[in-house]
């Protein structure tokens, strides 16, 4: 299957790059993994892979481009993945392979070691991958992919530890950046988060003896697994049938979870830190209404990510809520090879205005973020073309001024609108009557930090808003990236 091309509408969004899922202790584990991958499809639509283990046939794998539903629901394929232990991965584009169409870049990655095989699926990004790759190649390693994640396999191969779980620890002590990892050996399912816990990973129970690792709780829900807890920052769990061992390989952890998971990446039906993602996004809308009130007739979300915040904004402001923009749910598979004329239609392929609702109205549009701003301009034009009297934008995140180096597909800084314009300049460029973003403190209050952001010790990773990177992006600095000046 050919790789899905990015649509112009999607090119103006931030994208989570990966989701990971693993199951141990249930028959036909790969089928459960495929369902979990389907639930995590929002984290990566480009490709997916599954590795399973069966004592008779050994390790088996399948990697495919496209959606999970189009490949991993076919009985003929799933029959080739037997066993009660399996892991899976859904992918957008890894740091080393943006635009790559090579199947070799699709995870999980597999390595055969003297003590047996090991497969690894990684969500996140290694900020020292370029330096590690150069060092490993100089020492004789032969890479099969362009992914930063493959460095982990090669580091494991060079470790002198005697068990695969210890080799994983050894390898991960060498890497920097963000990682949530699900790995498997012949008998164990392993989950690890980096010391800052930037990317998510949760643990669940399935039946009497089964356990599940998933990037989000929505992956547990789809297979009827019971949520047990989050894997903690800096924690490694090794799960064998009926047994879980927990260790802390990376010293004293300090949680810096990605705050954008609350804003956009995670599904609204997932739970993060004991909080409903939907409720957090609704509360962001409440904060927005308090911070940036406006005289208007209608509050409309930019679907689907702006919907909960728009509901919160409408409730707090007293302005009626309405679905002024309708999303075409089936556009994703309609135009595999769009013509130039279709491509120029841009956002209209994805969204359509409810003309009868917005005509003559002063409309508040609520969206999750502004990246390049091109989509915001097109949506504004659509609303005005439909007869709206005024258009006001309210954004459910602070201005995105810095790229992410921890596993999010972000444009370079020169292409981020907020990095190059003031808020007023952005308003004029987009062409709306008003433009306001939720404040950083307002966002922190919405996620449960009632005192706002602790300037001395931020509770979350918010580098995309502040430029304060909790882990220095070593490879980027080597390539000439300029950090924000210390305040």
pLDDT tens-digit profile of 263-319? Answer: 999 999 999 999 999 999 999 999 999 999 999 999 999 998 899 999 999 999 999
What does the pLDDT read at residue 11?
Answer: 54
pTM: 0.92
| Catalytic sites, residue numbers | 18
Query: How is residue 416 written in tokens?
Result: 């981020």
pLDDT tens-digit profile of 316-365? Answer: 999 999 999 998 876 554 333 445 455 446 677 788 999 999 999 999 99
| Residue with tokens 């800084």, as numbered in its chain | 413
For 181, the enclosing helix (H) or strand (E) is: strand 177-184
Compute the distance between CA of residue 444 and CA of residue 459 in angstroms, rounded to an integer. Answer: 9
Query: How is residue 121 written in tokens?
Result: 């699926």
Report the chain's mean pLDDT, rounded to a whole number.
91
Question: Cβ(215)–Cβ(180) under 8 Å?
Answer: yes
Q: What share of the chain in percent tops pLDDT 90? A: 84
The answer to whether residue 96 scores a pLDDT higher than 50 is: no
Question: Cβ(203)–Cβ(186) under 8 Å?
Answer: no
The answer to whether residue 256 scores a pLDDT higher than 60 is: yes
Domains observed in the chain: 10-256 (3.60.20.10), 277-449 (3.40.50.2020)
Compute the distance between CA of residue 307 and CA of residue 323 in angstroms, rounded to an integer. Answer: 9
pLDDT tens-digit profile of 163-187? Answer: 999 999 999 999 999 999 999 999 9
Q: Average of pLDDT values for 195-214?
A: 96
The answer to whether residue 420 scores a pLDDT higher than 80 is: yes
What does the pLDDT read at residue 4?
Answer: 39
Q: Average of pLDDT values for 226-250?
A: 95
Q: How many helices (H) and strands (E) does the chain have?
A: 18, 25
What does the pLDDT read at residue 339?
Answer: 52
pLDDT tens-digit profile of 449-461? Answer: 999 999 999 999 9
Task: Point out which residues pair with 119 in neighbouring strands.
Answer: 110, 184
pLDDT tens-digit profile of 7-64? Answer: 444 556 665 569 999 999 999 999 999 999 999 999 999 999 999 999 999 999 999 9
| Residue with tokens 């989950």, as numbered in its chain | 191
What does the pLDDT read at residue 360?
Answer: 98
What does the pLDDT read at residue 14?
Answer: 62
pLDDT tens-digit profile of 380-391? Answer: 999 999 999 999
Compute the distance between CA of residue 443 and CA of residue 461 in angstroms, rounded to an integer. Answer: 12
Q: How would residue 226 be classed by pLDDT, with cut points 50, 70 and 90?
A: very high
């Amino acid at each position: 299957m050919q790789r899905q091309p990015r649509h112009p509408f999607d090119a103006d969004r931030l994208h989570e790059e990966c989701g990971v899922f693993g199951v141990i202790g249930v028959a036909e584990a790969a089928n459960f993994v495929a369902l979990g991958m389907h639930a995590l499809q929002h984290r990566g639509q480009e490709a997916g892979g599954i590795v399973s283990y069966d004592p008779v046939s050994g390790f088996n794998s399948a990697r495919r481009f496209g959606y999970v539903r189009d490949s991993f629901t076919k009985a003929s394929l799933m029959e080739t993945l037997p066993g009660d232990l399996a892991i899976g991965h859904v992918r957008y584009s890894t740091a080393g392979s943006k635009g790559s169409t090579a199947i070799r870049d699709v995870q999980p990655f597999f390595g055969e070691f003297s003590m047996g095989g090991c497969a690894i699926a990684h969500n996140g990004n290694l900020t020292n991958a370029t330096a590690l790759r150069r060092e490993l190649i100089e020492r004789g390693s032969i890479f099969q992919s362009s992914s930063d994640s493959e460095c982990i396999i090669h580091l494991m191969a060079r470790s002198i530890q005697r068990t695969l779980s210890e080799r994983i620890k050894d390898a991960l002590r060498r890497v920097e950046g963000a990682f949530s990892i699900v790995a498997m050996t012949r008998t164990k399912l392993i989950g690890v988060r980096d010391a800052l816990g930037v990317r998510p990973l949760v643990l669940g129970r399935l039946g009497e003896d089964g356990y599940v690792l998933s990037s989000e709780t929505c992956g547990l829900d789809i297979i009827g697994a019971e949520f047990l807890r989050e894997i903690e920052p800096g924690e490694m769990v090794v799960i064998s049938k009926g047994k879980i061992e927990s260790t802390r390989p990376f010293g004293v952890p300090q949680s810096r979870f990605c705050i954008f998971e609350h804003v956009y990446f995670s599904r609204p039906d997932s739970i993060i830190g004991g909080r409903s993602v939907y409720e957090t996004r609704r509360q962001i809308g409440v904060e927005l209404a308090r911070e940036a009130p406006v005289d208007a007739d209608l509050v409309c979300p930019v679907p689907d990510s702006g919907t909960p915040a728009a509901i919160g904004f409408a409730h707090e402001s007293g302005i009626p809520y309405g679905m002024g923009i309708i999303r075409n749910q089936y556009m994703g598979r309609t135009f595999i090879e769009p013509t130039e004329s279709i491509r120029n239609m841009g956002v209209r392929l994805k969204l359509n205005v409810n003309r009868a609702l917005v005509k003559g109205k002063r409309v508040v549009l609520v969206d999750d973020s502004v990246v390049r701003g091109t989509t915001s301009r097109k949506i504004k034009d659509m609303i005005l073309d439909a007869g709206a009297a005024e258009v006001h934008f309210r954004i459910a995140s602070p201005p995105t001024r810095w790229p992410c180096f921890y596993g999010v597909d972000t444009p370079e800084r020169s292409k981020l609108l907020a990095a190059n314009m003031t808020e007023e300049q952005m308003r004029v460029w987009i062409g709306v009557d008003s433009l306001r973003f939720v404040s950083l403190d307002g966002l922190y209050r919405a996620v449960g930090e009632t005192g706002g952001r602790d300037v001395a010790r931020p509770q979350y990773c918010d580098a995309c808003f502040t430029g304060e990177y909790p882990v220095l992006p070593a490879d980027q600095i080597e390539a000439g990236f300029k950090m924000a000046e210390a305040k």
